[in-house]
Amino acid sequence: MAQGCNGLNIKKSGNKNMNDKVIYVHNLVKKFGSFVANDNLNFEVYGGEIFGFLGANGAGKTTTIRILSGLSSPTSGEVLVAGFDAYKQPEMIKKNIGYMCQKFSLYEDLTVKENIMLYGGIYGMKLALIKKRVHELLERLNFQEYENRIISDLPLGLRQKLAFSVAVLHEPKIVFLDEPTGGVDPITRRQFWEMIYETASRGITVFVTTHYMDEAEYCDRISIMSEGKIVALDTPSALKKENEAETVEEVFIKIARPARN
Amino acid sequence: MVPVIESNGVYKSFGKTRALNDISFTVNESEIFGFIGPDGAGKTTLFRIITTLLIPDNGEIKVLGMNSISGFKELRKNIGYMPGRFSLYQDLSVEENLNFYATVFGTTVKENYDLISDIYSHIEPFKKRLAGKLSGGMKQKLALSCALIHKPKILVLDEPTTGVDAVSRLEFWIMLEKLKKHNITIIVSTPYMDEAMRCNRVALIQSGKILAIDRPDKIKEGFTRKLFKVKATDKFKLITSLRKYPETNTAWLFGDSVHLTLKEDKIDDSLSIFLRNEGITNPVVEEAGAGIEDRFLELMEKGAKV
Amino acid sequence: MNRFLGFVKKEFLHIFRDYRTLIILFGIPIAQILIFGFAVSTDIKNAGVAFLDLSKDEITQKLSDKIISSGFFKKTDNLLHYSDIDLIFKNGKTKAVIVFEENFGSNLMKDGKASVSIIADGSEPNVATLVTNYTMAIIIDFNRELNGPAGNNSLLIQPEVKMFYNPELKSHFMFVPGVITLILILICALMTSVTITREKEFGTMEVLLVSPLKPVQIILGKVTPYFLLSFINVILILVMSWLVFGLPVKGSITLLLLECMLYILMSLSLGILISTVSKTMQQAIFISFIGLMLPTILLSGFIFPIENMPKIYDYVSMILPPRYFITIIKSIMIKGTGILFVWKGTLILLLMTILFIAISVRKFKIRLE
C-alpha cells in the first residue's frame, strides 16, 4: 500500500471496491401521474467510487437523487442504498448517507462551530465524538480562526467546503452532492474536488451532479441522463473513445438532447 | 469611434464590503464583451451600474456617451437587460411575457420579429405554456427574446448560462454570435471559463478587481511560465505526489490531467523518477499551451498574494 | 435525545438572533395587554345625552341635573321638537335623548305617575344598552328619593325605552359595517403591498425599472385592477348583508358606494406605501395584515366606542382611517345621513389617500437602493 499525503492509506487499485455495491438500481421507474420522470433505470455504484450523474435540466436527475436519498419512493423497480431497501427502509437510508445541495447547506445565522455541533447531534453522534471531529475538521480546512464566525459572513467558497465537511461528518457510506460547486471561483472548485478525492479515498462513495463538464472528468464513472433514461454509463475515457470525442463536453453534446419541456 | 461603454475608476461598496474596486474598461460597438469571474466578483453590481440601477460611489460610467446617472431616462430606452434570475413572469405564458415587454417598451412583437426569430423559433411551439413550466434552457431563450424585443443598442446579460446544461449553453452562444450582424453590442457575465473564448474581448474579474482585459487569445498568451500536463490513472495520488515534488510551483486538477508549473520552468527526468517512486504507474508528461483558465488561476494566485 | 436537544438549541439560537422574532414574542403581548386593558371598556364615560323637555318644571330640571351630574354623561343639547331627535343623532355626538312629557311635574303630583322616554341611538347597540341601563338606574334612584325614606310608593316615574334606527337592537347593525371596514382595508392593503414586493422578490422589478415605464404608471397600473375588482366586491358584500342580515341602506346608495370607493382607494394606496418599506412579501404581509388588524378592530370604534377610552387612544385613533370610515358607513346605512354630516370624515379620508399616494411616488425607488 502506497502512502499518500498525511499518511493516508490509498488503495492501490484505485478506490473502487467492486464487491461493495453501495447503490443498486434495477428497472427503476418513477411516474408523476402519467409523466414518466425515470424510465427504467439500471445502474450500480461501488464503495469508494466517485460517480458523476450528468444530464440536462428536466432530464430526471433530481427525481432519482430524491429516491436514492430516501426522500421519495420509486413507482416500481428495485432500489437498494447502503444495503437498505428504498421502499421499506427510507429512514435507515437517511441515517447512512450525507447530503449537500446547492440551495441550502448551513444555517446562515449560526456560527461555524454551532452548525457542526448541530449536524453532529442530528446525525446521532455522541458528544465526545462530535467535539473531536469539530477539532479535526477545523484543522483540516484551516478554519480555526472562523470557528465562531456566523456563516453569512463567510465567502461562498468557504461555505461550500464547510458544508461538504459537515455532510460527511458522521462518515456515512455515501454522500450525495447536488451541484456543489456552482458559482464558486476556479481555485476553490479545485480544492473542493481535492476534498472529494480525499473523502473517496477513505472509502466514502461520492455521488455528484454537476454542470461543469471538466468536473465530470474527475469522476471514476459517469452517467448521462436524457428524458428520463440513462443514455450513457462508463468511465470518462471509455465514453470519449466510444464517441470519438476529446472532452466529456463533446460526448454530452453528442448524446444528450435538451429536455423537451 | 466612441466607445459604447466607458468606465473610469468605478468604486462601489455595500456597507463594509467593497464590491467594486477601481474598475476601468471600454467596450466598443458590436463587440461581445465578457466578464468572467466567480460569484461575489462584482459582476452583477457592475452590470446594475451600467443599466442605471445603481449609482457608483466613485468614478463614472458612460454608456452611449451619456453619464449613467444623469442620462438614465434615455439610456433605459436603449438597453436590453437580462438579469440573473431571468425575471420572467412565471404565471404568464411565453406569448404574454413577450407581448408585455414589447408593449412596455413601446413596440410590438411584429415590429422587431426578425431580430428574435432565430431564438424565438425554438420556443414558439410552446407559446401558450406558462413561463414557470419551461425548462432552464427555454426560459433562457424567452428571457433573451424579451430583452431584445425593442431592438436595444446594448444587450446586458447577467449570467445567462448559469445552471443551464451544456447543450443549451452552446445553443445560446450560437444565438449571441448571430446577433452581431444587427450591430448590437453585447456584454455578458459568466462563471464558465470556456465561454470566455467565444467573446471578442474579456475581462477577468475577482473580488471586485479586474485582473486582466484583452482578447481571449492574448490573455492566454500572457501566461508567464511553461505549462505541463501530467496524466496518470490515479488522479488523486498524482496530485498529492506532485505537490510533494520539490520543483513544483503549482499543480491543479484540470479535467483528465493535472496542470503543472515548475519553479525553474524546465523539466527533467527527476520528475518521472519521483512519480514512479511514489507508486504512480505510467505517468505521461507533456508540455502544453496554457488555456485561459490557467491564466486566470495564475492571476488569482498573484492577486491573493498582494 | 441528543439529536432532539441539539435541534432545540438551534431553534433557540435562531430566535434570539432575529430581533423581529423577539418583537413578536414579547413586544406584541405587552402591547396587547396595554391596549386591551384600557381600550376595552364596558363602562361609559361622558356619553352625550340631549334633553327634550316638553315640561320644563322643577322636577324635570332636578332629574336632568341628576343625570348629568352622575359623571357618566355630558349634556349635548336641549331640544325643542321631536323632529330634532333625528338630526341630533345624525350629528353623532348624542347617544340618547331623554324626553319628558308635557306637564311632567304636575302629572306626577296629580296622578302619581308621569312618563319619561329614553330614546337611544340604536346604531351602536352595545352603547345604547349601556346608556339606557344607566339612565334607568338613575331615574329609579331619583324616584326612590322622591318618595322619601318612608318607602311610600305614591309617586311613580315610568321610564320607557325606545331605540332609534335599530328598533330590535340587532347587534349585526354594529358588526356588519365594522366587518366591512375591517375586511376592505386588510384585503386592499394586503393585495397591493404584496403584488409590488413580489416583483422585487422575483427579480422582475429590475427589468421594469430599466424600462420606459414611469413609477407612477407602475403604481397606478398595480392599483387599477384591484380598484375595479373591489368595487364588485363591495356591491356583493352590501347585497349579502341586506339579504342575509336584513341590513338595509337607509341613506343614499350612491353616496355609500362613493364613500366605499374612496375608502378602497385609500386602502390600496396604503398598501403601496407599505410596499415601499418592505423588502420581501413576508414583511409586506406582516405589516399589512397583522399591523393593521388589531388597531382597526380595537381602536377604530368598531366594537368598543372610542369615547369610553382614555383620551390618548382617541388621539391615536385619529390617524386610523377606519375610524372615520366606520362612522361614515354607519351614518349612511343605519341613520340615513347625507353628505352634510359625513363631509368631514370624507375629506379626511381623501386627504389621507392623496398623502399616501404622494409619499409612495416619492419613495418609489427608481434604482435598486
Summarize pLDDT for A198-210 with one digit per residue, the tens: 999 999 999 999 8
| pLDDT tens digit sequence for A93-116 | 988 999 998 766 788 889 999 999
What per-residue confidence (pLDDT) applies to C38?
Answer: 75
Confidence of residue A16 (pLDDT cuts 50, 70, 90): low
Give a yes or no: residue C9 inside a domain: no
C-alpha distances (whole Å) from C178 to each of C123, C163, C244, C254, C366 are 12, 20, 16, 20, 38
Q: How many CB atoms are located within 10 Å of the residue A21 CB?
A: 17
Task: Please state, rounded to an integer, the average pLDDT across all residues of chain C.
Answer: 86
Give a yes or no: residue B79 inside a domain: yes
Chains touching C (at least 3 CB pairs under 8 A) are A, B
Q: Which residues on A lie below 8 Å from B258 (Cβ)?
A: none
Sequence-distant (≥ 6) Cβ neighbours of residue B248 within 8 angstroms: B242, B260, B261, B262, B263
Sequence-distant (≥ 6) Cβ neighbours of residue C104 within 8 angstroms: C54, C55, C57, C59, C60, C114, C116
Sign of the alpha-carbon torsion through B293, B298, B301, B306: negative
C-alpha distances (whole Å) from B34 to each of A183, A184, B82, B155, C238 are 16, 18, 14, 12, 61
Task: Please state, rounded to an integer, the average pLDDT across all residues of chain A.
Answer: 86
The residue out of B194, B215, B236 marking a domain boundary is B215
Q: How far is A124 from chain C (nearest CA, A)?
A: 6
Confidence of residue C150 (pLDDT cuts 50, 70, 90): low
Question: Is-contact A99 C2, C-beta < 8 A?
Answer: no
Confidence of residue A4 (pLDDT cuts 50, 70, 90): very low
Give a yes or no: residue C129 inside a domain: yes
End-to-end CA distance of chain A: 50
Q: How far is B52 from chain A (nearest CA, A)?
A: 25
The residue out of C137, C164, C191 marking a domain boundary is C164
Give a yes or no: residue C242 inside a domain: yes
List the single residue in C with minimal CA-CA distance to B146.
Answer: C207
Mutate which of A214, A222, A260 to test chain B, going by most B C-beta atoms within 10 A? A214
The residue out of C164, C182, C212 marking a domain boundary is C164
Q: Whose CA is closest to C32, among C297, C271, C288?
A: C297
Sequence-distant (≥ 6) Cβ neighbours of residue B89 within 8 angstroms: B96, B97, B100, B131, C204
In whole angstroms, what is the distance from residue C287 CA to residue C304 CA? Answer: 23
Same domain for C264 and C343?
yes
The CATH number given to whatever domain includes residue B170 is: 3.40.50.300
Same domain for C178 and C159?
no
| Nearest by CB: A122 against C3, C14, C17 | C3
Contact of C207 with chain B, judged by CB distance below 8 Å, is answered with yes
What per-residue confidence (pLDDT) applies to A184?
Answer: 84
Residue C9 has pLDDT above 60, yes or no: yes
The CATH number given to whatever domain includes residue B279 is: 3.30.70
In whole angstroms, what is the distance from residue C265 CA to residue C205 CA? Answer: 23
C-alpha distances (whole Å) from C278 to each of B51, C201, C367 are 23, 10, 15
The residue out of C164, C186, C213 marking a domain boundary is C164
Instruction: Please state which of the ranges A229-238, A240-249, B82-91, C230-239 shows the lowest mean pLDDT.
Output: B82-91
ipTM: 0.84
Give a yes or no: residue C39 inside a domain: no
Same domain for B203 and B254?
no
| pLDDT tens digit sequence for A32-89 | 988 899 999 999 999 999 999 998 777 888 899 989 999 899 999 999 999 999 999 9
In whole angstroms, what is the distance from residue C295 CA to residue A154 CA? Answer: 42
Q: Which three cell numbers stand for residue A42?
A: 439500471
Confidence of residue C173 (pLDDT cuts 50, 70, 90): confident
List the single residue in A with minimal CA-CA distance to B136.
Answer: A57
Angle between helices B113-123 and B136-148 (to 10 degrees): 170
Q: Does domain A48-71+92-255 have CATH number 1.10.620.20?
A: no
Give a yes or no: residue C276 inside a domain: yes
| pLDDT tens digit sequence for B140-155 | 999 999 999 999 999 9
Contact of C152 with chain A, judged by CB distance below 8 Å, is answered with no
What angle (nearest 5°) sits at the alpha carbon of residue B137, between those of residues B292 and B52? 70
Q: Which three cell numbers stand for residue C25?
A: 414574542
| Nearest by CB: C206 against B53, B55, B106 | B53
Strand ranges of the sheet holding C113-121, from the earlier edge strand across to the other edge:
C73-79, C47-53, C96-100, C113-121, C156-164
Mutate which of B13, B17, B48 to test chain C, going by most C C-beta atoms within 10 A? B48
Which whole number is the average pLDDT over A118-127?
A: 86
Q: Which residues pair with A28 in a beta bridge?
A: A41
What per-residue confidence (pLDDT) applies to A17?
Answer: 65
| pLDDT tens digit sequence for C83-93 | 889 889 888 88
Residue A116 sits at φ, ψ, to 5 deg, of -65, -45
Residue C124 has pLDDT above 90, yes or no: no
Same domain for C177 and C143?
no
Contact of C5 with chain A, judged by CB distance below 8 Å, is answered with yes
Same domain for C355 and C223?
yes
Angle between helices C321-330 and C339-363 (to 10 degrees): 150
What per-residue confidence (pLDDT) applies to C346?
Answer: 94
Q: Which three cell numbers stand for residue B198?
A: 467565444
Q: Which residues pair with A29 in a beta bridge?
A: A39, A76
Residue C125 has pLDDT above 80, yes or no: yes
Same domain for C279 and C296?
yes
Same domain for C277 and C159?
no
Same domain for B209 and B232?
no
What per-residue confidence (pLDDT) applies to C112?
Answer: 85
CB atoms B166 and A249 under 8 Å:
yes
Same domain for C102 and C185?
no
Residue A14 has pLDDT above 50, yes or no: no
Residue C155 has pLDDT above 90, yes or no: no
CB atoms C3 and A124 under 8 Å:
yes
Confidence of residue C99 (pLDDT cuts 50, 70, 90): very high
For residue B303, the SS3 value is: helix
Q: What is chain C's Cα-based Rg?
A: 26
* Of residues C233 and A44, more confidently modeled: A44
Same domain for B265 and B188?
no
Residue A92 has pLDDT above 50, yes or no: yes
pTM attached to this predicted model: 0.81
Which whole number is the average pLDDT over C214-236?
A: 88
Residue C77 has pLDDT above 80, yes or no: yes
What per-residue confidence (pLDDT) applies to A140?
Answer: 84
| pLDDT tens digit sequence for C263-321 | 999 999 999 999 988 888 888 888 888 788 888 888 888 877 777 777 788 888 888 99
Q: How many structural domains compose chain C?
A: 2
Sign of the alpha-carbon torsion through C131, C136, C141, C142: positive
Q: Which residues on B lie below 8 Å from A248 (Cβ)?
A: 255
What per-residue confidence (pLDDT) applies to C52?
Answer: 92
Please give the full DSSP string across B246-263, using - where no structure is assigned: TTEEEEEEETTEEEEEET
In whole angstroms, what is the distance from residue C279 CA to residue C200 CA? Answer: 7
Q: Which three cell numbers stand for residue B14?
A: 455595500
In whole angstroms, what is the distance from residue C164 CA to residue C283 CA? Answer: 45
Give a yes or no: residue C7 inside a domain: no
Q: One-letter amino acid identity for C148?
A: G
Give a yes or no: residue C272 inside a domain: yes
Give a yes or no: residue B294 inside a domain: no
Question: Is-contact B164 A211, C-beta < 8 A?
Answer: yes
In whole angstroms, what is the distance from residue C86 CA to residue C81 CA? Answer: 10
Same domain for C231 and C304?
yes
Give a yes or no: residue C33 inside a domain: no
Cell 322643577 appears where? C58
Q: How many structural domains compose chain B?
A: 2
Question: Is-contact B295 B225, C-beta < 8 A?
Answer: no
Q: Which of A2-6, B119-123, C15-19, C145-149 has the highest mean pLDDT?
A: B119-123
- Residue numbers of C between 6 and 45 with CB closer than 8 Å to A: 6-7, 9-10, 13-14, 17-18
Give the distance, in angstroms, between the CA of residue B176 and the centroid of all CA atoms in the same chain: 13
> B interface toward C at CB cutoff 8 Å?
48, 51-55, 72, 76-77, 79, 81, 83-90, 101, 104-106, 146
In whole angstroms, what is the distance from residue C289 CA to residue C189 CA? Answer: 8
* Of residues C151 and A128, more confidently modeled: A128
Confidence of residue C151 (pLDDT cuts 50, 70, 90): low
Confidence of residue C177 (pLDDT cuts 50, 70, 90): confident
Map out the domains of chain A as residue ranges: 48-71+92-255
Residue C354 belongs to domain spanning: 172-363
C-alpha distances (whole Å) from C251 to each of C165, C167, C262, C265, C334 are 12, 17, 17, 22, 7
Residue B283 belongs to domain spanning: 227-289
Give a yes or no: residue B299 inside a domain: no
CB atoms B170 and A57 under 8 Å:
no
Mutate which of B162, B165, B174, B294 to test chain A, going by most A C-beta atoms within 10 A? B165
For residue B23, the SS3 value is: strand
Same domain for C189 and C284?
yes
Same domain for C225 and C278?
yes
Mutate which of C3, C12, C20 to test chain A, going by most A C-beta atoms within 10 A? C3
Question: Is-contact B185 B6, C-beta < 8 A?
Answer: no
| pLDDT tens digit sequence for B81-102 | 999 777 889 889 999 999 999 9
Give a yes or no: residue B304 inside a domain: no
Same domain for C226 and C332?
yes
What angle (nearest 5°) sits at the alpha carbon of residue C8, between those of residues C285 and A86? 90
What per-residue confidence (pLDDT) applies to B44?
Answer: 93
Tens-level pLDDT at each residue, chain B (306 residues)? 689 999 999 999 998 889 999 999 999 999 999 999 888 899 999 999 999 999 999 999 999 999 999 999 999 999 999 997 778 898 899 999 999 999 989 899 999 999 999 899 989 999 999 998 888 888 999 999 999 999 999 999 999 988 788 888 888 999 999 888 889 999 999 988 889 999 999 999 988 999 999 999 999 999 999 999 999 988 899 999 999 999 999 999 998 899 999 998 888 888 889 998 988 888 899 999 999 999 999 998 887 654
What per-residue confidence (pLDDT) applies to A12?
Answer: 34
Q: How far is A79 from chain C (nearest CA, A)?
A: 28
Q: One-letter amino acid identity for C95?
A: K
Residue C41 has pLDDT above 80, yes or no: no
Local structure of residue A111 (DSSP, 8 states) = B
Q: Tell me the longest C-alpha to C-alpha distance in chain C.
A: 91
